[in-house]
Amino acid sequence: MGATGPDGRREGRFERRYAVAAGSLRARMVRRIESGGGLTDPAWRAAFAEVPRHLFVLDDQDTGYGGEPGPGGEYDEEYGGGYGEEHDEEYGEGSAYGEGPVHGRGPVAASHRRAMSRLTGAYADRPIATRVVGGELVSSSSQPSLMALMCEALDVHGGERVLEIGAGTGYNAALLAHRLGPDTVTTIDLEPEITAAARAHLDAYGTEAARSVVVVTGDGALGHPPRAPYDRVIATCELPFVPPAWLEQCTPGGLLLLPLATGLVALTVHGPRQAEGRFLSTPAYFVPLRGGSGAPDGAAEHGLAAEVFGQSAFGGITRPDRTRYGLTVDGPRQWLWRDSPEGPLTWPLTTT
Which whole-number Å values give the CA distances from 283 to 150, 225, 260, 319, in the listed order?
12, 31, 10, 9
Using DSSP's 3-state secondary structure scheme, residue 49 falls into helix
What CA–CA distance (Å, rounded) separates 47 from 116? 23
Dihedrals φ, ψ of 233, to 5°? -125, 125
The catalytic position among 139, 140, 141, 145 is 139
Alpha carbon distance 161, 233 (integer Å): 9
Q: What is the DSSP letter of 118?
A: H
| Coarse DSSP helix, strand, coil percentages of the chain, rounded to the nearest 5 percent | 40, 25, 35
**Residue 4 CB contacts under 8 Å (≥ 6 apart), including other chains:** none
260 contacts 308 by C-beta, under 8 angstroms: no
For the question of residue 139 being annotated catalytic, the response is yes
Q: Hey, which residues are catalytic here?
A: 139
